[in-house]
Amino acid sequence: ADSVPEEKFSLKEVLITFQSCLTDNQEILTDSYVNGWRGLVRFMNSLGSIFSFISKDAVNKIQIMVTHQNGENGDKYETLQSMVKYELDNNLVDLQRRAEHPESGCRTLLRLHRALRWLELFLEKLRTSTEDSKTSVMCTDAYNDSLAQYHAWIIRKAATMAFCALPGRAAFFQTMNVGSTEQVVAMLGEAMPFISKVYEITEELYKQHNLLELP
């Protein structure tokens, strides 16, 4: 995907990546999941440097996951399911507070998973929005209903300020590079079920193993 020229970059390709996360037996491929986030970060960077404190953290988390995937036990990280099993079986997850394993795959992915809920809410708002809807309001509402509860006051403040710099709906849709408003809405309608599915399966996996509050 890195060789695709800048002007060909479309959010459609990115959102479709989440479709390729799902295996036939409902497992989630770590590689595609991380790739999806790479694409999202790339899109966010195209919106301006005011978002760079957000993309820095996302890139950092992507990098942690890549390091796990490329490590000695990389094969254990093929799916989120195998990662959870491997890290728990081998006591590689800090369950109470961050200590020996501050960068476990489980806790790192949980942060991306929570952000995926924000994305799901935001995309649904965009999909059902009208011409006079404000992207900054949709983004802030989605954030307040998801990620914000996990963030300290100062981060919430900085994030909310950054959202105010989002382009208006028309310009935002153009940046997506998908085509007309109708095409954007159709693309979102196509991609969202996969994003929701990936979110649900991860949520269930983490719930089963009591990992939803990892420090």
Enumerate the H helices of the chain as residue ranges.
11-17, 30-45, 52-70, 80-89, 105-127, 135-144, 153-163, 169-176, 181-208
Q: For tokens 């849709």, what's the residue?
A: 173
**Which residues make beta-bridge pairs with 22?**
28
Contact pattern for ligand 1PX over residues 186 through 215, marking x by CB under 6 A? ------------------------------
Min. distance of Cβ 37 from ligand 1PX in angstroms? 7
Q: Which of 40, 83, 178, 187 binds ligand 1PX (CB under 6 A)?
A: 40
Task: Candidates 43, 77, 86, 194: give the one binding ligand 1PX (CB under 6 A).
Answer: 43
Site for ligand 1PX in 162-191 (CB under 6 A): none
Q: Does 115 bind ligand 1PX (CB under 6 A)?
A: yes
Q: How many residues bind ligand 1PX (CB under 6 A)?
A: 22
Cβ nearer to ligand 1PX, comparing 11 with 80: 11
Nearest alpha carbon to residue 121 among 142, 140, 141: 142
Rounded Cα distance between 39 and 24, Å, is 24
In the block, tokens 């978002």 appear at 51
Quick check: 57 binds ligand 1PX (CB under 6 A)? yes
Handedness of CA 163, 40, 206, 65 (dihedral sign): negative
H or E stretch covering 19: none
111 interacts with ligand 1PX by CB under 6 A: yes
* 123: nearest Cα among 47, 167, 172, 188: 188
* Cβ-based nearer residue to ligand 1PX, 28 or 109: 109
Instruction: From 22-30, 116-124, 178-186, 195-203, give the range in contact with ligand 1PX by CB under 6 A.
Output: 116-124
Question: Closest separation between CB of residue 48 and ligand 1PX, Å?
Answer: 10
Q: CA 125 to CA 137: how far, in whole Å?
A: 10
Minimum Å gap between C-beta 111 and ligand 1PX is 4
DSSP 78: S
Contacts with ligand 1PX by CB under 6 A lie at: 11, 40-41, 43-44, 47, 51, 53-54, 57-58, 111, 114-115, 118, 122-123, 139, 143, 147, 155, 159
